[in-house]
Amino acid sequence: MSAAKGFSLFKSPLFWILAVIAVGVGSYFLFFKKKTTAAGDTTFKNVDSEPNTVILKKGVSGTKVTELQKKIKAVNPQANLGSGGPQSDGVDGLFGDSTATELAKLKVPDSTGTLALGKTEVPYDKIGLIVAA
């Protein structure tokens, strides 16, 4: 007795057309769509895998930025980094406007370790040198 001829989903051209469309849409959202964060419509580049000499500046993110934000709060406990992060104190690992503004109020080192006011970026390996103005 032969098997009854039935409908096979995987042989249907419609199935494969929908599968290709689904993969394409999924790839778009995974790789190309601009990601937004709690900090607004900004894409942040994660610098955790970068060397310790990476410059922390507006638009970067990761644990290195979290360490910087903790240092800013340690030097100036009244620093307003926003309300993000697990403690709602702005320590969220995203280097945005608030982090840049508060960093500029401190004496920040450049790559040679020279301290200056008004800087909005800092080499990661020099954040230990940040001091109050």
Express each pLDDT in 23-62 by its tens digit. Answer: 888 877 766 654 444 455 568 889 988 898 899 999 999 9
In a domain, 28, yes or no: no
In a domain, 4, yes or no: no
Could you give the number of structural domains in the chain? 1
Which DSSP letter does residue 41 get? S
In a domain, 124, yes or no: yes
- Structure-block tokens of residue 23: 């993969």
Which DSSP letter does residue 21 get? H
Its domain, for residue 64, covers 45-129
**Looking at per-residue confidence, does 8 or 25 come out higher?**
25
**Length of the chain counted residue by residue:** 133
The whole-angstrom separation of Cα 99 and Cα 51 is 21
Average pLDDT over residues 115-126: 94
In a domain, 75, yes or no: yes
In a domain, 29, yes or no: no
Number of Cβ within 10 Å of residue 125's Cβ equals: 15
